[in-house]
């Protein structure tokens, strides 16, 4: 079976796209991620990751219609593909399974 590998940022972006109610594109993905995680994210990082995810086939994209906003530049809207969703699910399952194996009386080292 094909294995799905997702980096942390990739996973977060996929989740963000899943969360977003409106069509997802560069800027609103970035903003949503900032609100959800509370950390600043670089646009360039987002852009490259989106491209990578599309290459991997986890995302599909299409150009939006022409607008008068933002200098008339169109937006590229991203949607998760089936395999993207599966990768995300699989990641989650692995974590769930592993969490379930963590003993409740975990002995932690004091710093």
Partner 1 sequence: MNKHEIPGPPAWAQRLLKWYCPADSFEEVEGDLRELYAYWLDTAGKSEANRRYCLNVIRLQRPFSSRVTKYYSSPISLTTMIRHYILVASRNMLRSKAFSMINIVGLALGLACSLMIYLWVEDEKRVDNFHANKDRLYRVYIRQHFDGQSETGYNTPALLPAELKKVFPEIESATGFVKYFRLSLQDDVYETFQVGDIIHKMKGGRAEPDFFKMFTYPILYGSAETALKRPESLSISRKMAELYFGSADAALGQSVRFDGRKDLTVTAVFENVPVNSTDQFDYLMNWDAWVAENPFKQSWGHFGTSTYIQLRADANAAAVEAKIKAFLMKFLQGYPAEYKAELALAPFGDQYLYADFENGKPAAGRSEYVRLFSWIGVFILAIACINFMNLATARAVKRAKEVGVRKVAGSPRSFLIFQFMGEAILVTIFSTIIALAIAGLTLPAFNMLTGKQIMLPLNDVYFVLKLIVLMLVTGIFSGSYPALFLSSFQPVKILKGTFSFNARAITLRKSLVVIQFVLSLILLVATIVISQQINFLQTKNLGYDRENVIYIPLEGDLVKNYDLFRKEASATPGVKVVDRCSQFPHTMGFRAAAVEWDGAGLKSNIIFNMASVGYDFVDAMKLQIKEGRGFSRSIPADSMNFLVNEEAVRQMEIKDPIGHQLTIWGSKKGTIVGVLKDYHTGSLREKIDPLVLDVKETLNFGTILVRTSAGETVLALENLEKVWKKLNPDFPFQYSFMDQHYGNMYTSENIVGKLSNVFAFLAVAISCMGLLGLAMFSAEQRRKELSIRKILGASISNIITRFSNDFIKLVMVALIIAIPVSWFIMIQWLKGFAYSVELNWWMFALAAASTIALTMLTISAQAITSAMENPADNLRSE
Residues that bind partner 1 (CB under 8 A): 25-27, 30-31, 42-45, 47-48, 51-52, 54-55, 61, 63, 69-71, 73-76
Q: In the complex with partner 1, which residue's Cβ is closer, 8 or 69?
A: 69
* Closest-CA residue to 13 (of 85, 30, 76, 71): 30
Nearer to partner 1, 47 or 81 (CB): 47
Choice between 67 and 96, CB closer to partner 1: 67
- State the minimum distance, in angstroms, from the CB of residue 72 to partner 1: 8
Q: Residue 66 or 94: which CB sits closer to partner 1?
A: 66
Q: What is each CA distance from 46 to 30, 34, 87, 99, 106, in whole angstroms?
A: 7, 12, 19, 29, 36
Determine what percent of the chain falls in helix, strand and coil, rounding each to the nearest 5.
55, 10, 35
Q: Closest approach of Cβ 5 to partner 1, in Å?
A: 16
Cβ–Cβ under 8 Å, residues 52 and 40: no
Which residues make Cβ contacts (< 8 Å) with residue 57, sequence separation at least 6?
A: 81, 83, 84
Q: How far is the CB of 89 from partner 1 (least distance, A)?
A: 25
Report the nearest approach of partner 1 to the CB of residue 91 (Å). Answer: 22
């Amino acid at each position: 079976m094909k294995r799905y590998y997702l980096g942390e940022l990739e996973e977060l972006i996929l989740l963000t796209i899943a969360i977003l109610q409106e069509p997802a594109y560069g800027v609103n993905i970035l903003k949503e991620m900032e609100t959800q995680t509370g950390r600043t994210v670089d646009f360039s990082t987002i852009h490259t990751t989106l491209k990578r995810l599309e290459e991997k086939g986890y995302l599909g994209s299409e150009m939006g219609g022409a607008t008068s906003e933002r200098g008339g530049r169109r937006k590229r809207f991203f949607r998760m593909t089936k395999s993207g969703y599966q990768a995300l699910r699989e990641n989650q399952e692995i974590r769930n399974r592993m969490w379930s194996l963590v003993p409740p009386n975990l002995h932690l080292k004091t710093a």
